[in-house]
Amino acid sequence: MIVGVDMEDDAGMIKYQVNDIIDLERRIANLSRSDSLRNHSAINNLMTYRDFRERYPEIRWSLFFNEELRANLGVLEDDMLVNVVDVGYFDGLSALVKSKPLRLAILTLW
């Protein structure tokens, strides 16, 4: 049940879903802070791939690091060090995925 939306009205439901997707896209775009990218000490955030996955479990990294990406990166081992350039982005993305319905959270992985 979506408050204020007539579930029998296909056009109204589509409009609601489109607006929800646009809102999600806007929120994702606002997560990135270009000012932090100028501060080189702020962009040096090394952690293991395991720690990274455990810090952001809401994001299905196995879908993101698909076969095509692995073909270029090689096998991603749990103890491999990754540099998370914008930790705030991933913190915000994780919170956003938690706050949205599953259908929209899945969209963030596309």
pLDDT tens by residue, 51-92: 999 999 988 888 777 777 788 888 888 999 999 888 888 898
3 in a domain, yes or no? Answer: no
Measured between its terminal Cα atoms, the distance across the chain in Å is 26
pTM above 0.95, yes or no: no
5 in a domain, yes or no? Answer: no
Domain hosting residue 19, numbered range: 10-32+39-107
Q: 59: which 2 tokens?
A: 């994001």
Total number of domains constituting the chain: 1
57 in a domain, yes or no? Answer: yes
Query: Considering only CA atoms, which of 30, 33, 38 is closest in space to residue 96?
Result: 30
4 in a domain, yes or no? Answer: no
The residue whose two tokens read 């646009």 is 22
